[in-house]
Amino acid sequence: MQHDVVFSGFGGQGVLFCGQLLAYAAMDSGLHVTWFPSYGPEMRGGTANCTLVVSDEEIGSPLVRHPSCAMAFNNPSAEKYEALTAPGGLLIYNASLVSHAVARPDIRAVPIHASEAAAELGNPRLLNMVMLGALLQLTGVLPVEAVERALDAHMSARRPELLALNKQALRRGMADVAG
């Protein structure tokens, strides 16, 4: 089993944290992981992305040219990663911010209104967890409980007031793309 995912958006949308959290959850589950962040000098407001590879076998390289799954948090990311997603791959995009019409018939494009869902949960910064929940539901890369344990282990000291909301946002993202 191997999953490769690119998370991409504006700095400040929680793109890097989203990928890092999934990396922690995979490591804590005994899987092999690479996490490769990249961001512009502006950080907040600039372009940010990270590539994550999760596997039950050793990983040869953290570089992924054509990801099997792309998570686009904004319009420029949707435009870029529609073209780069592998044939038969999955593009999950934040339909709240993406106006780009996905045209490739050889990939599965799934819109999720992550910004609206996060706002309904009471904090617009939760959009990354809504997106991550959708990824978990659509790919089965890890069970949500593994990600929730990673939140407990790696986030609780930094922002304990957001712990329950992050878990709620994960479940909301899963529900928004389920069945």
Which pLDDT band holds residue 122 (cuts at 50, 70, 90)? Answer: very high
41 pLDDT band (50/70/90 cuts)?
low
Average the pLDDT over 10-18 and give the result: 89
Q: What is the pLDDT of residues 63-110, one digit of tens each?
A: 889 999 999 999 999 999 999 999 999 999 999 999 988 999 999 999
Report the distance separating Cα 13 and Cα 129, nearest Å: 10
Give the other-Cβ count within 10 Å of 166's Cβ: 26
For residue range 137-156, list pLDDT tens digits in order.
999 999 999 999 999 988 76
Q: Is the pLDDT of residue 24 over 60?
A: yes
Residues of the chain above pLDDT 70, percent: 93
pLDDT at 179 over 70: no
Distance CA 31, CA 53 (A): 10
pLDDT of residue 29: 96
pLDDT at position 158: 66
Q: Which homologous superfamily does the CATH classification assign to the domain defined by 2-177?
A: Pyruvate-ferredoxin oxidoreductase, PFOR, domain III (3.40.920.10)
Domain assignments of the chain as residue spans, ordered by start: 2-177
Q: Which residues contact 141 (CB under 8 A, 6 or more apart)?
A: 3, 5, 22, 26, 54, 135
- pLDDT, residue 63, reads 82
| Amino acid 139: pLDDT | 95
Give a three-class secondary structure readout of the chain: CEEEEEEEEECCCCHHHHHHHHHHHHHHCCCEEEEEEEECCCCCCCEEEEEEEEECCCCCCCCCCCCCEEEECCHHHHHHHHHHCCCCCEEEEECCCCCCCCCCCCCEEEEECHHHHHHHCCCHHHHHHHHHHHHHHHHCCCCHHHHHHHHHHHCCCCCHHHHHHHHHHHHHHHHHHCC
Contact yes or no for 108/89 (Cβ under 8 A): yes
